[in-house]
Amino acid sequence: MPARIRLQRKGKKNQPFYHIVVADGRAPRDGRFIEKLGTYNPMTNPAEIVINEERACYWIKNGAQTTDTCRRILSYKGILLRRHLQIGVEKGALTQEQADAKYNEWKQAKEAKIANKKSEITNNARNEAKSRLEAEKKVNETKAAAVEAKRRAAAEAEAAAKAEAEGAAASEAPAAEATEENTEA
């Protein structure tokens, strides 16, 4: 069986972390391996990939097969492009300087794209937090206005009750005086 470049799962339950390894095709997934090429952490956004590009190119050149996921990872990091350009150099279609220039240009564009994605994610998170804070402030203001309206209504009701009680007491006082005058006469 040929050597295979594949992922070896590490990490806790629901928190995967992978080692990118070269292993015999017959070896179990998390079993024996020939060489560790790097790591892959899918829990971050964007995913964190650390890989030894020279050794990965060496293994691909020597016929190591990749799994689908590892092929995507190697493509994302530009290792398959690098190998493709190297084949062009070996066939005489490109010079080594041209191949290196194309690879470096691609790599810079990819790094800029990743940096833009990271800044976009942080900006979106900041804007979302800001909008949630503003929404919470509006809710708090409406609650405060409702509480203030209740206080005013209660104060007005209390003042009306006091005025009514004073008015009733005042109307009872002349009636009481009239009855006293009638009893004296």
**pLDDT tens figures, 63-107:** 899 999 999 999 999 999 999 999 999 999 889 999 999 999 999
Q: How far apart are CA 168 and CA 152, in angstroms?
A: 24
User: Domain spanning 3-94: which CATH class is it, in words?
Assistant: alpha beta
**Whether pLDDT at 175 is above 60:** no
The amino acid at 76: Y
Residue 110 in this model has a pLDDT that exceeds 60: yes
The number of angstroms, rounded, from the C-alpha of 25 to the middle of its chain's C-alpha atoms is 36
Q: What is the pLDDT of residue 26?
A: 86
- pLDDT at residue 103, rounded to an integer: 94
Enumerate the domain spans of the chain. 3-94, 113-169
pTM over 0.75: no
Band (pLDDT 50/70/90 cuts) for residue 177 is low
Count other C-beta atoms under 10 Å from residue 45's C-beta: 9
**H and E: helices and strands count for the chain:** 4, 5
The Cα–Cα gap between 23 and 129 comes to 45
